[in-house]
């Protein structure tokens, strides 16, 4: 099986593609991969660290307002299509898979025009511009949220798979998570994450909440700041409390996030689709603080899906403060019945076999049969 993967800009687009590759390699031995990403996207640094060959095209996204820059984007798109066709003819893939981000546009469109079976995966409850465009050309659209199929009225075939990243996390070893944090396996961990680059609103709330943490000394708080916020966060907390609270760890980044998630009892986070898939695969209750700075406010829609199912508590940024966050954590972690109920609701939304479902669709499209 020869597979081309494309997805970029953020980890939310890249990690699902890598999860599909991992499962495909496991289920279809001998599979070969090529990742086509953007020259400037995060994928250009992440993918080369794996064993998957990486090639790049020059592409940018459309501006929301009319501008001359959009004309340049159109030209880059057309040039990207030509270059993608050349790469595809050389690699001769059996299938092309796009997991979002504007780099998928020329790559998957080129595959469709060459008659190569293609799949796009939409992580969010509200699809992005690129996937809405591609849905009319691809063989299959895979969605993460049940019910979001209606967002693709022109698609030929739509399947509900969940997010492939869930499979990676579901198989993680929680004992390694406890060990990496230096905590006993009996610990109740509250993990606070602002995203790979951090989030100022969550950072400010954690600084304000730090003096209250001694009231929850039976909990272990782990705050992942993002590299840029690490030093100022440590300084601000120490200035506010005199010393770092004994039950708080502040980390710039976590390299083994699947294992740490597997050991977590409650997570405080943005509402990016990949993180929600990871949380629900493990049945982790959550406090979600959706970013207001995303297209179509899709993070709040993602978060409300979990809230309506009873799996999460949503706090919008205007409502966020140290006291509000502390109260929300206390209400969930001090009530075993509520915590268990949220955990069950979260697990019901999880699709730990997501990557497998996409591999099954690859088999169907390519006629490779089943294992």
Whether residue 200 is contained in a domain is answered as yes
Whether residue 148 is contained in a domain is answered as yes
- Is 105 labelled as part of a ligand binding site? no
Task: Tell me, yes or no, whether 134 and 251 share the same domain.
Answer: no
Whether residue 61 is contained in a domain is answered as yes
Q: What is the bridge-based pairing of β-strands 220-224 and 248-251? A: parallel
Task: Tell me, yes or no, whether 232 and 299 share the same domain.
Answer: yes
Whether residue 108 is contained in a domain is answered as yes
Average pLDDT over residues 112-126: 94
Residue 126's pLDDT band (cuts 50, 70, 90): confident
The token pair at 17 is 């593609």
Query: Does pTM surpass 0.85?
Result: no
Whether residue 371 is contained in a domain is answered as no
Sequence-separated (6 or more) residues with CB below 8 Å from residue 26: none
Task: Tell me, yes or no, whether 85 and 132 share the same domain.
Answer: yes
Task: Tell me, yes or no, whether 25 and 145 share the same domain.
Answer: yes
* CATH number of the CATH domain containing 207: 3.40.50.2000
Dihedrals phi, psi of 119, to nearest 5 degrees: -130, 135
pLDDT given at position 62: 54
Number of structural domains found in the chain: 2
The token pair at 149 is 């199929």
Sequence-separated (6 or more) residues with CB below 8 Å from residue 68: none
Return the closest-CA partner of residue 37 out of 49, 29, 28.
49
- Is 350 labelled as part of a ligand binding site? no
Task: Tell me, yes or no, whether 173 and 322 share the same domain.
Answer: yes
Task: Tell me, yes or no, whether 14 and 135 share the same domain.
Answer: yes
- Does position 306 have pLDDT exceeding 70, yes or no? yes
- Of the chain, the end-to-end C-alpha distance in Å amounts to 13
Domain around 215: 169-349
H helix or E strand, kind and range, residue 363: helix 354-366
Whether residue 202 is contained in a domain is answered as yes
- Does position 195 have pLDDT exceeding 90, yes or no? no
Task: Tell me, yes or no, whether 156 and 179 share the same domain.
Answer: no
Task: Tell me, yes or no, whether 70 and 197 share the same domain.
Answer: no
- Is 124 labelled as part of a ligand binding site? yes
**Mind listing the pLDDT tens digit for each residue in 60-101?**
665 555 555 656 777 888 999 999 999 999 999 999 999 998
Task: Tell me, yes or no, whether 192 and 97 share the same domain.
Answer: no
Sequence-separated (6 or more) residues with CB below 8 Å from residue 292: 299, 300, 316, 317
**Mind listing the pLDDT tens digit for each residue in 13-30?**
999 999 999 999 999 999
Which stretches does DSSP call E strand in 123-209? 140-143, 158-160, 189-193
- Is 371 labelled as part of a ligand binding site? no
**Mind listing the pLDDT tens digit for each residue in 129-142?**
899 999 999 999 99
Task: Tell me, yes or no, whether 138 and 102 share the same domain.
Answer: yes
**Mind listing the pLDDT tens digit for each residue in 241-273?**
988 999 999 999 898 999 999 999 999 999 988
Whether residue 8 is contained in a domain is answered as yes
Angle of CA points 59, 62, 65, to nearest 5°: 155
Task: Tell me, yes or no, whether 159 and 182 share the same domain.
Answer: no
Distance CA 125, CA 303 (A): 9
Return mean pLDDT, the chain: 92
- Is 196 labelled as part of a ligand binding site? yes
Sequence-separated (6 or more) residues with CB below 8 Å from residue 124: 144, 145, 273, 298, 299, 301, 302
Distance CA 247, CA 184 (A): 13
Whether residue 327 is contained in a domain is answered as yes
Task: Tell me, yes or no, whether 174 and 219 share the same domain.
Answer: yes
pLDDT given at position 371: 44
**Mind listing the pLDDT tens digit for each residue in 318-366?**
999 999 999 999 999 999 999 999 999 999 999 899 999 999 999 999 9
- Is 12 labelled as part of a ligand binding site? yes
């Amino acid at each position: 099986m020869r597979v081309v993967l494309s997805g970029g800009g953020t980890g939310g687009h890249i990690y699902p593609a890598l999860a599909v590759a991992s499962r495909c390699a496991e289920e279809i031995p001998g599979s070969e991969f090529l990742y086509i990403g953007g020259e400037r996207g995060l994928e250009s640094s992440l993918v080369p660290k794996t064993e998957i060959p990486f090639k790049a095209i020059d592409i940018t996204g459309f501006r929301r307002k009319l501008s001359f820059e959009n004309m340049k984007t159109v030209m880059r798109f057309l040039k990207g299509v030509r270059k993608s066709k050349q790469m595809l003819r050389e690699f001769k893939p059996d299938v092309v898979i796009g997991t979002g981000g504007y780099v998928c546009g020329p790559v998957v469109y080129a595959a469709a025009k060459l008659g190569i079976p293609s799949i796009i995966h939409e992580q969010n409850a509200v699809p992005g511009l690129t996937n809405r465009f591609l849905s009319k050309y691809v063989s299959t659209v895979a969605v993460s949220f049940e019910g979001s199929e209606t967002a693709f009225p022109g698609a030929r075939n739509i399947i509900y798979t969940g997010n492939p990243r869930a499979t990676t996390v579901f198989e993680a070893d929680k004992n390694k998570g406890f060990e990496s944090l230096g905590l006993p396996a009996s610990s109740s961990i509250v993990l606070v994450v602002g995203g790979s680059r951090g989030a100022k609103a969550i950072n400010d709330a954690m600084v304000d909440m730090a003096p209250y943490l001694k009231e929850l000394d039976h909990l272990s708080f782990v705050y992942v700041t993002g590299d840029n916020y690490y030093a100022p966060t440590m300084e601000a907390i120490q200035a506010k409390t005199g010393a770092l609270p004994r039950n708080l760890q502040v980390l710039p980044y976590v390299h083994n996030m699947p294992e740490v998630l597997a050991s977590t009892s409650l997570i405080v986070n943005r509402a990016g689709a990949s993180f929600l898939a990871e949380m629900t695969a493990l049945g982790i209750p959550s406090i979600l603080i959706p970013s207001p700075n995303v297209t179509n406010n899709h993070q709040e829609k993602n978060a409300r899906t979990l809230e309506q199912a009873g799996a999460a508590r949503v706090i919008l940024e205007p409502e966020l403060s140290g006291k509000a966050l502390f109260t929300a954590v206390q209400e969930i972690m001090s009530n075993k019945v509520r915590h268990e109920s949220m955990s069950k609701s979260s697990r019901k939304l999880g699709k730990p076999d997501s990557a497998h479902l996409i591999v099954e669709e690859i088999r169907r499209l390519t006629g490779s049969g089943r294992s």
